[in-house]
């Protein structure tokens, strides 16, 4: 397995050291079906070099993993992606990207433990691949926002149509993003934090 960012252990790099002003650390999970951009988002937004357990896909996955629509994808996240971002001088988010394929879902319980919230990434060409994760979050009571990742030939559904298709309540934020861009991914996380805040302080 290729732990790309931890090949040599030489002590902490300066970017890895937490700012002394940090007072709160929050765990956030990035979820969604296979190939929706989870690894990309953790990578674009993380201040530390993200740890990713990406493996080259092999024949063994043929017929097991559903990669319809993302046939050009040659690697896949086996266990998880891990990154970190400071949203302010005080607030640090630890990001955990979950594996996309159903055969790795046994890892999910641990990944959700202690998570304050989640980002559900969507590819509008393949909405159905993210249905299941939404159900799982609802079952576990983990609050989430939905981020529609912009792929070039993806249909552009109005937000209300998406809300209906996903059967989401009015208050759940649905926003567009480009997971490859740091600013866009950061906006998604800010939206999640504002949403979590609104749930904690309903009448503020």
Ligand X SMILES: Nc1nc2c(ncn2[C@@H]2O[C@H](COP(=O)(O)OP(=O)(O)O)[C@@H](O)[C@H]2O)c(=O)[nH]1
40 binds, among ligand X, Mg ion, none (CB under 5 to 8 A by kind): ligand X
Work out which of 39, 46, 67, 124 binds Mg ion, going by CB under 5 A. 39
Q: Is 202 in the site for ligand X (CB under 6 A)?
A: no
Q: Nearest approach, Cβ of 149 to ligand X (angstroms)?
A: 4
Site string for ligand X, 59-98 (x = CB under 6 A): --------------x---x---------------------
CA separation for the pair 35, 26 (Å, rounded)? 25
- Hey, what are 103's tokens? 């055969």
Q: Compute the distance between CA of residue 198 and CA of residue 21 in angstroms, rounded to an integer.
A: 24
Nearer to ligand X by Cβ, of 84 and 130: the residue is 130
Classify residue 5 by burial, with Cβ atoms within 10 Å: 0-12, 13-18, 19+.
Answer: middle
> Would you give the binding string for Mg ion spanning residues 60-79, x where CB under 5 A is met?
-----------------x--
Q: Which of Mg ion, ligand X, none sits in contact with 143, Cβ below 5 to 8 A by type? A: none
- The count of chain residues that interact with ligand X, using the rule CB under 6 A, is 18
Among 66, 82, 87, 150, binds ligand X (CB under 6 A): 150
Task: Name the minimum Å distance from CB 50 to ligand X.
Answer: 11
Considering only 33-41, 61-69, 130-138, 166-174, which stretch makes contact with ligand X by CB under 6 A? 33-41
- The answer to whether residue 149 forms part of the interface with ligand X (CB under 6 A) is yes
Closer residue to ligand X in complex, CB, 32/143: 32
For the chain, how big is the Rg over CA atoms in Å? 17
As a 3-state breakdown, the chain gives helix, strand, coil percent values, each rounded to 5, of 35, 25, 40
Considering only 178, 191, 192, 193, the residue that binds ligand X (CB under 6 A) is 178
Cβ contacts of residue 97 below 8 Å, gap of 6+? 29, 30, 31, 38, 39, 41, 42, 52, 77, 80, 81, 82, 83
What 3-state class would DSSP assign to 105?
A: helix
Choose which of 179, 188, 192, 193 interacts with ligand X (CB under 6 A). Answer: 179
Element (H, E) at 112: helix 108-112
**Cα gap 176→103, rounded to integer Å:** 29
């Amino acid at each position: 397995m290729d732990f790309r960012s931890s090949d040599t252990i030489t002590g902490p790099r300066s970017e890895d050291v937490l700012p002394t002003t940090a007072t709160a650390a929050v765990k956030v999970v990035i979820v969604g079906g296979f190939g929706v951009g989870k690894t990309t988002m953790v990578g674009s937004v993380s201040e530390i070099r993200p740890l990713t357990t990406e493996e080259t896909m092999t024949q063994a996955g043929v017929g097991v993993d559903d990669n319809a629509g993302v046939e050009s994808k040659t690697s896949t996240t086996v266990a998880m992606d891990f990154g970190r971002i400071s949203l302010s001088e005080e607030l640090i988010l630890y990001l955990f990207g979950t594996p996309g394929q159903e055969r790795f879902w046994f890892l999910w319980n641990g990944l959700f433990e202690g998570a304050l919230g989640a980002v559900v990434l969507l590819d509008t060409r393949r909405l159905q691949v993210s249905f299941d994760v939404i159900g799982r979050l609802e079952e576990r009571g983990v609050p989430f926002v939905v981020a529609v990742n912009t792929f070039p030939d993806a249909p552009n559904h109005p937000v209300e149509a998406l809300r209906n298709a996903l059967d989401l309540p009015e208050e759940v934020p649905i926003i567009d993003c480009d997971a490859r861009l740091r600013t866009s991914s950061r906006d998604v996380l800010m939206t999640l934090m504002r949403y979590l805040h609104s749930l904690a302080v309903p009448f503020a």
